[in-house]
A and B are shown apart, each in its own frame.
Chain A
Amino acid sequence: MGKIHKWLRSRQGQQAVVIITFSIIPLLLLFVFTYFPFAEMFKFSFYDMKYVGERKFVGLKNYITVFQRDDCFRALWLSLYYMGGAVIQLALALYLATVFCFGIKGGDFFKGCMFFPYLINGIAIGFIFKFFYTRGFVLDTVLGWLGFDLENLPYWLKDTSINNVSLVATSVWKYFGQNMVLFIGAMMSVDSSLYEAAQLDGANKWQQFRYIMLPSIKTIVMLNLIMSITGSLSAFEPPYVIMSGGGNGTATYFVKMHEIAHTNQKVGLASAMAIVLLLIIFVVTILQKLFFAYVFKDAEDEDKNAGKKREKQLAKAMKKQKAREGRA
């Protein structure tokens, strides 16, 4: 008893008490609201079940069904539209961030305008764009001012060759401002003396961007890209709200999953779909990391093992020299 008491009063003991008391609550919340439901969902994916009523263990049948149903994977192809959108969105954000960073009149005002859409609720954005794309409404009117003839314009949401592009545009509109602000934040942290030095050496703006700015903010670029790609795999709001539940060939994987889980009450199958999507996201993220490791290789200041290598080389050279000396 006394021993425990003494331990508790020791520095180590105090540390342990503080760590436990401070972390137990967040950990508990994390467990109760994230890991436990996830484990439950994982369990559900092996059952044939509705929300109420009997549950029947069916093993891997749900997973097999996910891969056999063509509508599940066709929905994943739609993600390519959103991934394309994500790339455009990041390029746009990066470009604008650079422009803002090199200084522009009224920069804060424009920054605010561009960031604003991110603050609007996704459902509200859905309703805004529903009217935006309606025949003869906002978009058609604006294009009319520019000289387009209404007859030649497509039905933005009805025409299946373009409606996914329309939906992706709404999500680009919402998120590029946020990406941009993150980029600006990262760019601001670059030491400005580096630019001055580069300028003195005769580097132009593009070279400054390519060799100073981009390498310095690559972590943020990568983070944004990973988030956007993950986001495009799980796109939900635009098709669900604007296209009233993903009609007309716009049902993404999430919309399909929602329909299977809630309208059709196939909870097991939907859980299996969720797990499959999780695995896909893992794979895609790992692939991206590998890709970036390759792309930014030359941008690294130094290989992590460079020091060791150099020592080895030095040792080798010394040896050689010694040997030569010995011979001599």
Chain B
Amino acid sequence: MKGKKILSLGLTLCMGMSLVACGSSAETTTEGAKTETTTAVETTATETASAETTESGVPSYSEITVGEDYTDLTASIKWMHHKTDREEDGTIAKYIEEFNKVYPNITVQTEGITDYAQTALLRIPTGDWGDIMFIPAVDKDELSTYFMPFDTLEAMDKEINFANAWEYDGLSYGVPYMGNAQGVVYNKAVFEAAGVTELPKTPEEFIAALQAIKDYDSSIIPLYTNYAAGWTMGAWDAYIGIVTEGDNTYFNQKFVHTADPFSDRGDGAGIYNLFKILYDAVALGLTEEDYTTTDWEGCKGMINNGQIGCMVLGSWAYQQMVDAGEHGEDIGYMPFPISVNGVQYANAGADYSYGINVNSSDENKIASLVFVKWMTEESGWCAFEGGYTVDKDGENPELYAAFDSCELLIDEPALSGEETFLNDMNAESELGFNAGGNTKVQAIIEAADQGASFDDIMADWTARWNQAQESLGIEVNN
């Protein structure tokens, strides 16, 4: 009797414990993620200043000639990537097959991972990820802990674009598989039919072009804002800096120190004129009738069949618009219509970059180097994806034809010691530039539609910016 009681008590407790365990296990995962980041920071602190130069047995990226060196090398390497769609449709297998025609003894295994950004960060510290991976969001001062430098930044700059994407201490740790450029996706047929033969280079020309489209056929929406999707509004922030100022140190370095970044300088450039384009387009009725019910999935087909003139989106969107209907050949991509002192600038950025495991054997490192260089120079993958060429000598796909006339720049990282400034300013001012600040851009559309003043919005931004600078104690230069 007593034994039974104790047993039942024990059982109850057991069940209780397992319940509690169930409940708290969810917590542990988030906790785990937290500790993960903290340990990562700790490693940074104790980071050794190794990997100053490349190791003796392994050549550098620029020393290898693809197709000539190491063709008889035998090795088996593993590559972890996020392109599960290309894994499934056999594109990656096809490239590896091509690669093996030149390098028959190098076996390449692949592992495609969905939810890559998080999984990769968790796998990195274990070291169990093979020889090549696409570098996830690790801190730059940690790069040498996990990855082998390809070469010095100087040497890499001669070989590839975006060499500074994963640069630390003068060494380059990553080679992007493709680049992206920021411009405007548009329907060539619509622009032509409306009589816009030359692509607009300034805000006035752009608004005039939109007006021409409206005059040509009022059923076409000249500029589709995608207000309702939210993030598509925040996408306007991507043009701040290089496009608006013609300066690749502006966004990450100077912006936070500027006293009045949102004032109208009267030169047709600057952040003021970037958002003025949006305001004017809405105020003049050159956007969709009801912005609150825009439809992101629907807009792809609409621009494809000529119901939309253009949309302000990064070049990654180009392929989706092409694939969305039967008139893919009508879709074009143009630089953003702002000129700084007569020069049109465009910003480009690296997509995911290949990184090579610093702890792999020398043979595997060499094989990985050869593979990465072959993928970059010979595979044609970058062009296939519609990316901006990574190989310095590579041809750009047709969509970047309009970018030939403009100056292409890549954002410089923040100055050391100031890495957190932009994030802090974004949070404190609640403007969130390039950091989810969608509502502030939506507010511009609302103001334009309801007849509120644009200058008031800019004045409000300036006030919030200055207040944030003051409360964070960030030095302001005039």
Interface residues of A (CB under 8 A from B): 17, 21, 24-25, 28-29, 32-33, 50, 52, 130-131, 133-135, 155, 157-158, 160, 163, 243-249, 251, 259-260, 263-266
Contacts and interface: CB of A to CB of B under 8 A. Distances in A.
B449 interface: yes
Given A244-B229, A245-B230, A247-B443, A260 B292 contact: no
Contact of B292 (A50, A248, A265): A248
A266 B292 contact: no
A33 B23 CA distance: 9
Contact of B432 (A133, A134, A264): A264
Contact of A247 (B19, B290, B439): B439
Chain B interface size band reads 20 to 34
A260 B228 contact: no
Given A21-B12, A21-B13, A264-B427, A249 B290 contact: no
What does DSSP make chain A's interface, helix, strand, loop or mixed?
Answer: loop
Given A244-B230, A264-B430, A135 B443 contact: no
B290 A158 contact: yes
A29 B23 contact: yes
A279 B439 CA distance: 28
A260 B19 CA distance: 34
A11 to B, nearest CB: 14
B63 to A, nearest CB: 41
Contact of B446 (A21, A247, A259, A265): A247
B291 interface: yes
Interface in B188-230: 227-230
Contacts of B427: 50, 264-266
A265 B229 CA distance: 21
Most chain A CB neighbours (cut-off 10 Å) among B293, B436, B450? B293
Contact of B442 (A24, A247, A265): A247
A130 B439 contact: no
Interface of B: 9, 12-13, 16, 19-20, 23-24, 34, 37, 227-230, 289-293, 426-427, 430, 432, 435-439, 442-443, 446, 449-450
16 contacts: A17-B9, A21-B12, A29-B23, A33-B23, A130-B293, A158-B293, A243-B292, A244-B229, A244-B442, A245-B230, A245-B438, A247-B292, A247-B443, A263-B436, A264-B426, A266-B430
A160 B227 contact: no
Contacts of B426: 264
B19 A29 contact: yes
Given A29-B19, A33-B23, A266-B427, A248 B290 contact: no
B292 A155 contact: yes
Majority SS at the chain B contact face:
helix
Nearest to A263: B436
A29 B24 CA distance: 9
Contacts of B230: 244-245
B293 A133 contact: yes
Nearest to A24: B16
Contact of B227 (A32, A134, A135, A244): A244
A25 B16 contact: yes
Q: Which among B24, B229, B439, B446 has the highest number of chain A CB atoms within 10 Å?
A: B439
Nearest to A14: B5
A158 B289 CA distance: 10
A158 B225 CA distance: 14
Given A244-B229, A245-B230, A249-B446, A157 B292 contact: yes
Contacts of B443: 247
Contacts of B229: 244
Contacts of B34: 52
Residue with the greatest number of chain A CB neighbours at <10 A, chosen from B9, B13, B228, B443: B228
Contact of A260 (B289, B430, B436): B430
Contacts of A130: 228, 293
Return the 10 tightest CB-CB contacts between A and B, nearest first: A157-B292, A134-B293, A25-B16, A247-B442, A264-B430, A265-B427, A135-B290, A244-B230, A244-B228, A158-B292
B24 A32 contact: yes
Given A244-B230, A264-B430, A157 B23 contact: no
